[in-house]
């Protein structure tokens, strides 16, 4: 059971990741490429900052390795698209496995239809809740410290998932109320933001990117949930038939 369930989840994730790639190429990536033309200017470039006295401060996240060599990056065009597709497929597999874990842990019946609900919950937990604090950002837009944002992202995902579990799975009203508090908590604390949002990237481009990025993700999650629910339900019914034979 274990191996087949994991494989089914990975395959559902790969399929949803491929669909996401197509939608992104159409609606999202062109906006990223356009934003990159604004990436110089007020925003420090990726190579770091020049210190007083002429030294260079090179960040670990900059486009150079520790010895100052230019780090590898895929060439623009087919190579860059191929790596994006690969990253999307791996993201799809990762989210699919996490969704499978939720389905199994909940003990609720799984069908293609309930899979759609699971997909919707995945969208709420991994996309919408984090985006409410940290809107999907374009290259060239100022942002707070990367590590602080990553910590807030994970904390928000964990709190939202935990909150939904409390509301959906627990009976006592007090636990359901605790779930609601958990969902609200990251937004009461607030996401890390830069001192100024001033940027050379046009506001309309950023708004269009945030909307299209979330719309593409919503489609991805709904398709992923439906596919995974269908695959898991099929396996369960095959197992039951085998057990009866």
Partner 1 sequence: MLTQSQSVSPSVSLGVQERIKVAAAALALGLVLLGGVGFAGASVLHNAAHDTRHAVGFPCH
What residues between 21 and 40 interact with partner 1 by CB under 8 A?
24, 28-29, 32
According to DSSP, the residues that pair with 57 across neighbouring strands are: 49
Asked if 138 contacts 209 with a C-beta cutoff of 8 angstroms, the reply is yes
Minimum distance from CB of 164 to partner 1 (Å)?
Answer: 16
Minimum distance from CB of 219 to partner 1 (Å)?
Answer: 12
Pattern 76-95, partner 1, x by CB under 8 A = ----x--xx-xxx-xx-xxx
Task: Quote the tokens at residue 97.
Answer: 């496995």
- In three-state secondary structure terms, 86 is helix
Judge residue 69's burial from the number of C-beta atoms within 10 Å of its C-beta, 0-12 exposed, 13-18 middle, 19 or more buried: exposed
Q: Judged by CB under 8 A, does residue 226 bind partner 1?
A: no
Residues 96-135 that bind partner 1 (CB under 8 A): 96-98, 100-105, 107-111, 127, 130-131, 134
Half-sphere exposure of 156 (CA within 13 A, CB side): 27
Query: If binding means CB under 8 A, how many residues of this protein chain bind partner 1?
Result: 72
| CB closer to partner 1 out of 150 and 177 | 150
Minimum distance from CB of 53 to partner 1 (Å)?
Answer: 26
Q: Among 213, 223, 225, 231, which residue sits at the site for partner 1 (rule: CB under 8 A)?
A: 213
Residue 41: which region, alpha, beta or left (left: phi > 0; alpha: psi -120 to 50)?
left
Q: Judged by CB under 8 A, does residue 208 bind partner 1?
A: no
User: How far is CA 17 from each of CA 11, 56, 165, 179, 245, rounded to the nearest angstrom?
Assistant: 10, 39, 26, 30, 37
Q: Among 14, 46, 178, 194, which residue sits at the site for partner 1 (rule: CB under 8 A)?
A: 46
Distance between CA 215 and CA 212 in Å, rounded? 5
| CB closer to partner 1 out of 136 and 163 | 136
Q: Among 2, 78, 188, 203, which residue sits at the site for partner 1 (rule: CB under 8 A)?
A: 2
Q: Among 12, 19, 121, 138, which residue sits at the site for partner 1 (rule: CB under 8 A)?
A: 138
Residues 159-178 that bind partner 1 (CB under 8 A): none
Asked if 208 contacts 32 with a C-beta cutoff of 8 angstroms, the reply is no
């Amino acid at each position: 059971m274990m191996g087949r369930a994991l494989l089914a989840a990975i395959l559902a994730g790969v399929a949803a990741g491929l669909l996401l790639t197509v939608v992104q190429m159409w609606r999202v990536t062109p906006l990223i490429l356009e934003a990159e033309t604004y990436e110089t200017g007020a925003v420090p470039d990726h190579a770091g900052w020049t210190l007083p006295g002429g030294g260079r401060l090179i960040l670990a996240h900059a486009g150079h390795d520790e010895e100052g060599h230019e780090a590898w990056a895929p060439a623009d065009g087919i190579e860059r698209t191929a790596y994006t597709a690969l990253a999307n497929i791996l993201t799809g597999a990762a989210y699919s496995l996490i969704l499978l874990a939720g389905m199994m842990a909940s003990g609720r019946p799984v069908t293609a239809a309930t899979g759609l609900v699971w997909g919707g919950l995945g969208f709420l937990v991994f996309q919408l809740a984090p985006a409410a604090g940290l809107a999907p950002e374009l290259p060239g837009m100022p942002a707070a410290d990367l590590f602080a944002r990553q910590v807030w992202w994970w904390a928000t995902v964990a709190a939202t998932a935990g909150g939904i579990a409390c509301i959906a799975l627990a009976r006592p009203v007090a636990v359901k109320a605790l779930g609601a508090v958990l969902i609200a908590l990251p937004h009461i604390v607030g996401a890390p933001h830069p001192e100024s949002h001033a940027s050379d990237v046009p506001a309309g481009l950023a708004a269009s990117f945030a909307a299209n990025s979330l719309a593409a993700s919503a489609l991805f999650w709904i398709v992923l949930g439906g596919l995974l629910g269908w695959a898991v339900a099929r396996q369960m019914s095959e197992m039951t038939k085998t057990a009866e034979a």
